[in-house]
Structures are given as C-alpha cells and as structure tokens.
C-alpha cells in the first residue's frame, strides 16, 4: 500500500518526520558527487553538471537531488525523465509527478508508462526507497510505522488540548449527596464552557452544594504523555532507519537540546541511513545518466563535524597508532606532508610493544657508538 495524499500531509506535519525527511534529503543533496573513470581518476563529464548546476531551466541540481529523496521517502518511488538531444546526450533531468507514471505489468518484460504511453527504462530515473518486498517498486517507510505515527499525532493533539485549557490531569467532581443526571450534565457543560479553553485554567473555580474537585489520574498526565511519545518516536526511528537522536536533535549536525551529538551518532546516521540511500541513487545514475563512470557521494565530509570535535577524535586515533598523521590530514581535506614520519603509525610508549621498540632502538644506537 502506498501512502495516499491525505495521510502524507498529516504524517509529514509531525516534527520528527519532517526532520527525518528534510535532514536526509538535504544532506544527500549537499554533499559532493564524485565521478571516476576506468583508471580510478576523478573526472567531470558533462552530465555531472545536471546534478551540480541546473537540471532544467527551472530546477537546479540541488533541488532535484533533494526532491528525489523526499519523494522516494514519503511515497516510496521518485521518477525523473531524461530528456535527450538528437545525438542521445542527456540535456535535462525533469522531475515527474508520481501520478503520471504507471507500470504495465501485463507486458513482457514489464514497462513504464508516462501519461499512458510507453517510455524506455533508460530514459526514466526511478529512485526507490529500499523499503519494499518487490524489486520493481518501492514502498514508503512511513507505511511501516503508521500505527506509531498515528499515536504520536494523537499525543500531540492531546498535549495541545491540555496546553490550551491549562489542565494536565483528569478531574473528578464529588458531592456529599447524590445529584440527578441532569445536574451532572449541567455541571460538566458549565465547567467545559469556562475552563476547557485557552487560558481557562486561570478562571476562578466555583462549586456549589458542598462539592469538591480533585485529580484522579494519580500523577501529572504530561509525564505519561512524554514517556509514551518518546517510546513511539523510538519505534518510528527504527522504521525510518535513522538514529533516534536524529529525530529530536535541534540542529542538523551537532546540537541536541543544548548538548552535542557525538561523532558516533553522526557516523551511525551516515552508515545506517545516508549510505544505503546514496548507493541506490548512484546505481540508478550510473546505469542511465552516466554509464561507464563510477559515481560516489562524498559522505566523508559529514563525519568531520566541528573542528574541535574532529581534532580531538583524530588526535586520539593518531596517538593510539590507528591512523598516521597524513591519514588524519586527508580526513579533514588537507594535503599530505612530505615527511617519512607522517606516513608511519605512532607507537605508544605505555605499551609493551612500544617500550620494546624503544629499547631496541637504544641497543642499535649503543652498538653503533665508537665507545661500544
């Protein structure tokens, strides 16, 4: 089942879902796409400019790439038509509304239909979400967590009601003697009219006839609401294949409610979420837009983070003998230095292997000394 238009608008209005879709699409559109020839040399074929410059007269490459991911994420499939010149070169990449595309399952082999007319597969980019039981068509990951999404939407509506009325607990009216059903309904209607509205909690509460009012939920319902929403968002994160911290982070890169998202969390986002999307897009582009070239998104730049965080992490890796100094320089986009030591792993002196190496060097120096 593909997500229908009505449910998509409701679901995508949830902040966590908005963040997931816009964040993944925006990051993939922002990173550099590198093209390599058969000799593994980076090249810049003319078709690449359609992804980095203008895809059409009205759509630039960044918007096209972002739209392809957004559409595939929310609908399961995204389509773009490759408009070619008479010589067969791709001149434009035109985004196609999903309602204009169909698949003729009765044909052998299956074929695409654009506005009811057959269109060659080589002329149609088809980006799938990857969340599908079929190889021919994608399914929206939003369908995988529809129950949790509906729960979050209901919890948001509940929170909005409590915020508007100022009521955070379920209330009970008590009277010392029985009252008629008519009197009960009258009391409830009067209370709702006065208090269950914006700023209603500030209105004075008057109860006649010796009645009283008290909370019956046992604790603040906002706490229960927050816990339920957190659990639901965790399930949504699993279904969307994004780290849970990514749905709640306040900044696209490294701030989360005043605390920093670690490089480990950023690495999980790149490896678990962005890299599979990038591979699907690269495969389609290599097959139809730039055959003969190898394409790769430079996701490495997303792992660099802030200079302070990156320097700290790289320093640990260099000092621990995991990376060479030139490895660390490459990671932050700097040219290697021409120094033999810059291409060697450091050996820590507080380890047995490091101490043995130092002792060996000393013995070599002593044996070469004229006084030895």
For 213-253, write each residue's pLDDT tens digit.
Answer: 555 454 556 666 677 667 777 777 777 788 777 776 544 44
**Closest alpha carbon to 129 in 81, 80, 51, 74:** 74
Q: Which residue has the higher pLDDT, 333 or 138?
A: 138
Same domain? For 252 and 356 the reply is no
**Closest alpha carbon to 104 in 94, 95, 92, 117:** 117
Q: How confident is the model at residue 4 (pLDDT cuts 50, 70, 90)?
A: very low
Last residue of a domain, one of 218, 238, 258: 238
Q: Which residue has the higher pLDDT, 335 or 100?
A: 100
Q: How many Cα atoms occupy the beta-carbon half-sphere of 22 within 13 Å? A: 13
Range of the domain at 171: 155-238
Q: What's the whole-number mean pLDDT along residues 85-99? A: 93
C-beta atoms surrounding 141 within 10 Å: 23
**pLDDT above 80: residue 342:** yes
How far is CA 67 from its chain centroid? 14
Domain count, the chain: 3
Same domain? For 114 and 20 the reply is yes
Burial class (CB in 10 A: 0-12, 13-18, 19+), 273: buried
Q: Which residue has the tokens 């939407």?
A: 153
Last residue of a domain, one of 255, 270, 304: 304
DSSP calls for 234-286: HHHHHHHTS-HHHHH-SSSSSEETTEEPPHHHHHHIIIIIIHHHHHHHHHHHH
The CA-to-CA distance between both ends of the chain, in Å, stands at 84
Q: How confident is the model at residue 351 (pLDDT cuts 50, 70, 90)?
A: low
DSSP calls for 83-102: EE-TTS-EEEEEEE-GGGEE
Q: How many Cα atoms occupy the beta-carbon half-sphere of 315 within 13 Å? A: 6
**pLDDT above 50: residue 304:** yes
What's the predicted TM-score (pTM) here? 0.66
């Amino acid at each position: 089942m593909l997500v229908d238009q009505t449910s998509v608008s409701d679901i995508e209005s949830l902040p966590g879902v908005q963040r997931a879709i816009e964040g993944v699409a925006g990051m993939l559109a922002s990173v550099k796409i590198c093209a390599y020839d058969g000799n593994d040399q980076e090249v810049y074929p003319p078709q690449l400019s359609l992804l980095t410059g203008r895809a059409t007269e009205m759509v630039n490459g960044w918007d096209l790439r972002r739209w392809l991911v957004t559409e595939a994420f929310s609908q399961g499939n995204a389509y773009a038509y490759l408009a070619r010149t008479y010589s067969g070169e791709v001149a434009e990449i035109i985004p196609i509304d999903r309602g204009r595309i169909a698949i003729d399952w009765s044909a052998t082999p299956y074929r695409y239909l654009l506005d009811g007319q057959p269109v060659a597969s080589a002329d149609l980019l088809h980006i799938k979400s990857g969340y599908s039981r079929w190889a021919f068509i994608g399914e929206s990951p939003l369908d995988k967590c529809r129950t949790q999404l509906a729960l979050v939407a209901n919890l948001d509506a509940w929170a909005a009601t409590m915020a508007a009325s100022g009521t955070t607990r379920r209330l009970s009216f008590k009277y010392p003697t029985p009252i008629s059903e008519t009197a009960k309904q009258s009391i409830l209607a009067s209370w709702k009219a006065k208090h269950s509205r914006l700023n209603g909690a500030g209105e004075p509460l008057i109860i006649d006839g010796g009645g009283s009012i008290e909370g019956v939920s046992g604790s603040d319902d906002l706490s229960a609401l927050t816990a339920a929403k957190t659990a639901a968002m965790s399930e949504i994160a699993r279904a969307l294949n994004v780290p849970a911290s990514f749905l709640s982070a306040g900044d696209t890169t490294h701030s989360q409610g005043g605390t920093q998202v670690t490089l480990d969390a950023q690495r999980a986002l790149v490896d678990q979420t962005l890299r599979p999307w990038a591979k699907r897009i690269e495969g389609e582009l290599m097959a139809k837009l730039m055959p003969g070239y190898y394409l790769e998104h430079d996701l490495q730049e997303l792992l660099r983070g802030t200079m302070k965080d990156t320097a700290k992490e790289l320093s640990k890796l260099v000092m621990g003998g995991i990376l060479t100094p030139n490895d660390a320089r490459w990671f932050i986009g700097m040219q290697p230095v021409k120094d033999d030591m810059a291409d060697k792993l450091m050996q820590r002196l507080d380890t047995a292997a490091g101490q043995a190496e130092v002792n060996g060097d000393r013995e070599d120096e002593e044996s070469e000394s004229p006084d030895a």
